Amino acid sequence: MQPNDNVLADLFSNDGSRRNVSIYLAFLVVAFLYHASVFWFIMGDDIQSKYAQSEYVIEFEESSEIFTDSRTIDDGEKATIDFTAPSNLFDSNSGFGLLLITITYTETSGEFGDPCDTISADLSVTDVSADWKNENNELSGVSSDCEAISLLLHVYPDYDGESMDVVGMDELYWSDTWSNSSYGQGMFQLDVEVIVNEPITSGIPTVSDTNEKVDVTWEPVFFEVSVRENS
């Protein structure tokens, strides 16, 4: 018999030895379970918090101003109306979010039975930094019933005015992400064309409808961003 066999035989040779071995093994099991419970249950929160990413809520407070312009446009002619947002709006806000444009007109000839003229409006894509390819933009419109034409340009990329939840980074990072005065800087150009629809009395020499007065309202929508941790 080998020496190792003699040791094992001695350990289990009587009831006392077997009991001592059982107690020792039970102690090892208890010690293992204790350390495992400390690691997974007591230190688990500390471990999880070490690698967990913070959650933040980003909110926007909007403000806007109204700017108006009027033009009398001859039949078949196209007028370009320019607009530049004032610099003080960039200085006092986090960013330029949206540009709303409303084009209105009424039939002004005063002739009996004179139908509304046809007005078309197109916001030209310029070198102004904006979200020109946003699928929710409305950059052109036509009206032949004296109804207003409403256009919309998303200026700040991905901005829609709604609050959002984000994960990771810190408050400063998200605040800087939504604070950029370069978007919307420059001149916007709106092309407006008039097609006169003659009244039924247009054959009378003294009756004519050769132009239309068009009113344009520019409404730049700026925002102030706020970021808070979502507890």
What are the tens digits of pLDDT across the range 60-82? 999 999 999 999 999 999 999 99
The dihedral built from the CA positions of residue 47, 49, 50 and 55, taken in this order, carries a sign that is positive
- Pairwise CA distance, residues 200 & 207, whole Å: 10
Average pLDDT along the chain: 85
Domain chopping of the chain, boundaries: 3-51, 56-229
The mean pLDDT value for 18-44 works out to: 66
| pLDDT of 206 | 42
- Pairwise CA distance, residues 37 & 204, whole Å: 100
pTM, entire model: 0.76
**Tens digit of pLDDT for each residue in 178-221?**
999 999 999 999 999 999 887 655 544 444 557 889 999 999 99
| pLDDT of 108 | 60
∠ CA 147-160-133, nearest 5°, is: 75
Write the CATH number of the domain with boundaries 56-229: 2.60.120.380
The owner of tokens 């009831």 is 15
